[in-house]
Amino acid sequence: MTKTISKQLTDTRPIRLKGRSFLALVLSPELPFSNWLERLDDLAARSTGFFLGRPIVLDVEGLEITQADLKELLGELGERGVRVMGIEGARGSLIGPNMPPLMKGGRPAGDIEPEPAPGPAAAATPATSSAPEQAAKAEPRVEVHSQRAVSSIVITEPVRSGQSIIFPEGDVTILGSVASGAEVVAGGSIHVYGALRGRALAGSVGNASARIFCRKLEAELLAIDGLYKMPDDMDPKHRGQAVTVWLEGDAIKAERLA
Amino acid sequence: MAKVIVVTSGKGGVGKTTSTAALGAALAQRGEKTVVVDFDVGLRNLDLVMGAERRVVYDLINVVQGDAKLSQALIRDKRLETLHLLPASQTRDKDNLTAEGVEKVIDDLRKSFDWIICDSPAGIERGATLAMRHADVAVVVTNPEVSSVRDSDRIIGLLDAKTKKAENGERMEKHLLLTRYDPMRAERGDMLKVDDVLEILSIPLLGIIPESTDVLRASNLGTPVTLSDVSCAPALAYRDAARRLAGEQVAMTVPGERRGFINKLFGRRAA
């Protein structure tokens, strides 16, 4: 990074601005907020610390709210430890001075999955020179390359209670069981060659085609692409069986593996 | 070669202290020099179970802080001269237990004992992590019920992450000691079965200690159960576990297995 401050502009090299894409969880609040917050609390109570330290973007598209409403909502979220890094789908007038910035050009994170590599979410390029434009274009290619290099991991030990395996880059394979109170979060699919007794969250970065496979289903929570299912909602005939779990529209489906 | 064993569980009241005393006495009965170390600062119990509560002058914290020599704090058992106790402090704050201090005490104990058995406090806080930190082998004490099993699973995770062995990239040897096992209740499904616990925890089994009033009576008398009534079922089970710890091959007996089989027959007929 080069920084040159000079009134005469003796050094004409432009300031380099880099584009970089990050994955964020997107929360889409619904009216009335009090009801939505209650449901959020319920979710947070089931998965303690779920939002802790994760970047969150608030999608307010289509909501008829005022700046005061938004401010109140941000306050409520702040109290719950949910830190909002940006707001999507809002009119410019909705964003007050001390609020997170308006974000545009977000894409479902599924597009960031290994194969075809689109550019970063926002590549800002000063018009003074064409050089930084090339730099900005070159940048994401390197990143995508590194993503491609590690698109799956294999865990050879059982995942114990209290441990969490978080791998947003791709698939997670576990040679062993996932204990009650343990958590596996994968950007892609989750394969458990043992009993799945803890939580499994597949396609966590917006990949609806992700699946969960396990030898023995006794999970405390199953989620794909943000849609989740608790044990009570699961078909009892799959309990203790080897199953595959996938998403069909907005429904989580399961089927016994032969 | 001295071996440091931590007796741990996560959950309280599952029988860590009883097992520490019983295994310690059983190893000492083999003629090997054994010391049992109480890490439960502020809630010490091992002295009571060992029947040495009136002989405590100095404790682990005094030694860690350099107020007493190790030889002054060690209490030799009156029944077995190969068995020793290093008591915990009941009055001091557990923050006085430092990582460096504990390491030095353990290193000193290694010089003069064959077995160093550390009785861990319940929980996963500092006391428990310090007790496991320098261990060569872990004995995970578990009751056949779900909360105990889950806590043990958590502890196994910590044993693989927060011990010196794990940090050096070595594997911590872990053994499961299933205590308070009631074959009748396991058969009725009120309790987890041995296979279920082993399947969940996936570590080798060291022994199964049957639920018995002998254990409670021995604790109240201040005698490790392996010393009080040498022929009762829990004493035999602990002695077998100690032999397995020492590397002997001893066939595993599941308490009441035959009775369980007969119950099954009768149960079917009745139904």
pLDDT 10s digits, A184-195: 999 999 999 999
Query: Is the CB of residue A67 less than 8 Å away from at least one CB of chain B?
Result: no
Which residues in chain B have their CB less than 8 angstroms from residue A161's CB? 150-151, 153-154, 157
Question: Contact at 8 Å (CB) between A225 and A247?
Answer: yes
Residues on B contacting A at a C-beta cutoff of 8 Å: 146, 150-151, 153-154, 156-158, 160, 199-200, 202
pLDDT at A105 over 80: no
The pLDDT assigned to A219 comes to 94
The helix/strand/coil state of B89 is: coil
For residue range B250-266, list pLDDT tens digits in order.
999 887 765 444 455 55
Which residues in chain A have their CB less than 8 angstroms from residue B199's CB? 195
Distance, CA of A225 to CA of B147 (rounded, Å): 31
Phi, psi values for residue B198, rounded to 5°:
-65, -35
Residue A138 pLDDT level (bands cut at 50, 70, 90): very low
Whether residue B200 and residue A157 make contact (CB cut-off 8 A), yes or no, is no
The pLDDT assigned to A86 comes to 87
What are the residues whose beta carbons fall under 8 Å from the beta carbon of B169, sequence distance 6 or more?
none
Query: Is the CB of residue A180 less than 8 Å away from at least one CB of chain B?
Result: yes
pLDDT at A123 over 60: no
> What is the ipTM for the molecules in this complex?
0.75
CB pairs under 8 A between A and B: 33
- H/E segment holding residue B152: helix B146-159
List own/partner pairs for A5-14 with CB under 8 A and 24 or more apart.
Answer: A14/A126, A14/A128, A14/A129, A14/A131, A14/A132
Query: Is the CB of residue A195 less than 8 Å away from at least one CB of chain B?
Result: yes
Query: Is the CB of residue A189 less than 8 Å away from at least one CB of chain B?
Result: no
More confident residue, B134 or A126: B134
In angstroms, the separation between the Cα of residue A195 and the nearest Cα of chain B is 8
What are the residues whose beta carbons fall under 8 Å from the beta carbon of B244, sequence distance 6 or more?
B175, B206, B207, B250
The pLDDT assigned to A173 comes to 97
Selected for mutation to probe chain A from B125, B149, B150, B171 (highest A CB count within 10 Å) is B150
The pLDDT assigned to A112 comes to 31
Backbone φ/ψ region at A6: left (φ over 0), alpha (ψ -120 to 50), beta = beta
The helix/strand/coil state of B232 is: coil
pTM of the complete model:
0.67
What are the residues whose beta carbons fall under 8 Å from the beta carbon of B171, sequence distance 6 or more?
B165
- H/E segment holding residue B207: strand B205-210
Burial A163-196 (b: 16+ CB within 10 A, else e): bebebebbbbbbebbbbbbbbbbbbbbbbbbbbb
The pLDDT assigned to A115 comes to 32
The pLDDT assigned to A25 comes to 79
- Across A223-231, average pLDDT: 90
pLDDT at A133 over 70: no
CB atoms within 10 A of CB A69: 16
Question: Contact at 8 Å (CB) between B133 and B163?
Answer: yes
